Amino acid sequence: EDKVVQSPLSLVVHEGDTVTLNCSYEVTNFRSLLWYKQEKKAPTFLFMLTSSGIEKKSGRLSSILDKKELFSILNITATQTGDSAIYLCASNSNSGYALNFGKGTSLLVTP
Amino acid sequence: EPEVTQTPSHQVTQMGQEVILRCVPISNHLYFYWYRQILGQKVEFLVSFYNNEISEKSEIFDDQFSVERPDGSNFTLKIRSTKLEDSAMYFCASGSINIQYFGAGTRLSVL
């Protein structure tokens, strides 16, 4: 059975800190790994990563996947209170269409 | 920016009643999905839909569930006879086989 495990489950930081969120995966016939930000409403797509190992960046957020160690990290630099959310990691397999989600990391950025 | 829209945002129903959750996917997307998230648990895949038919479904998606794309814009999830354990947030998503974009969800409360 495919597995996605996120750590930590929750995190509290001060504005301006840098955070690293972790996602490990065990996926048969791996296609990609996706990161989403979930605030009160829709999970918002952040990044898709493949076994190419290419780092993805968008502003203060970046993410990379290690295909040998089977994990991905999401980095947020110079955190702001608006970064407070649940960050979801999900795997995608070539065997089907479903995203398999982890339990998420709840990030709280305090002023 | 185009987005996936879901209605209603909150649905309250009595056990045993039928409910229909509605979604308008992003217009040029070809793949459509339903997920659910029970309070405190992870997001779980229900079903994917492509080319006017179900392409994959999970064990959760039993005979009580059905999906339909009645016209060129709407995508619906029907639960025939709701149970207490169907209470959850239901997310619609659309996209490609690689990236899925989520709606804000319908919170279903079964009393």
CA dist., res. B92 & res. B101, Å (int): 8
The tens digit of pLDDT for each residue in B46-93 reads 999 998 899 999 999 999 999 999 887 899 999 999 999 999 999 999
Q: Which of B70, A43, B55 is nearest to B46 (CA)?
A: B55
Chain B: closest CA distance from residue A15 (Å): 26
Handedness of CA A28, A37, B52, B46 (dihedral sign): positive
Number of domains in chain A: 1
Q: What is the CATH number of the domain that holds A61?
A: 2.60.40.10
CA dist., res. B66 & res. A86, Å (int): 30
pLDDT string in tens for chain A (111-residue length): 889 999 999 999 999 999 999 999 999 899 999 999 999 878 999 999 998 888 999 999 999 999 999 999 999 999 999 999 999 999 999 888 899 999 999 999 999
Q: Which CATH number fits domain B5-110: 2.60.40.10, 2.40.50.100, 2.60.40.1180, 3.50.50.60?
A: 2.60.40.10
Q: Which of B89, B64, B111, B92 is nearest to B10 (CA)?
A: B89
The closest CB to that of B105, out of A41, A44, A98, belongs to: A41
Q: What is the pLDDT of residue A1?
A: 83
Those residues of chain A whose CB sits closer than 8 Å to some CB in chain B are 31-32, 34, 36, 41-45, 48, 88, 90, 92, 96-104
Closest residue on chain A to B5 (Cα): A42
The closest CB to that of B48, out of A32, A97, A104, belongs to: A97
The closest CB to that of B56, out of A31, A41, A98, belongs to: A98
Q: Could you state, in order of their start, the residue ranges of all structural domains in chain B?
A: 5-110
User: Residues of B with CB below 8 A from A96's CB?
Assistant: 48, 56
- For testing contact with chain A, the best of B45, B48, B90, B96 (most A CBs within 10 A): B45
CB contact under 8 A, B42 and A101: yes
User: Residues of A with CB below 8 A from B8's CB?
Assistant: none
Domain that holds residue A76: 3-110
* φ, ψ of residue A97 in degrees (nearest 5): -110, -15
Those residues of chain B whose CB sits closer than 8 Å to some CB in chain A are 3-4, 31, 33, 35, 41-45, 48, 50, 55-56, 58, 91, 97-105
User: Residues of A with CB below 8 A from B51's CB?
Assistant: none
The tens digit of pLDDT for each residue in B26-47 reads 998 999 999 999 998 999 999 9
Instruction: For the beta carbon of residue B84, count every other beta carbon within 10 angstroms.
Output: 9
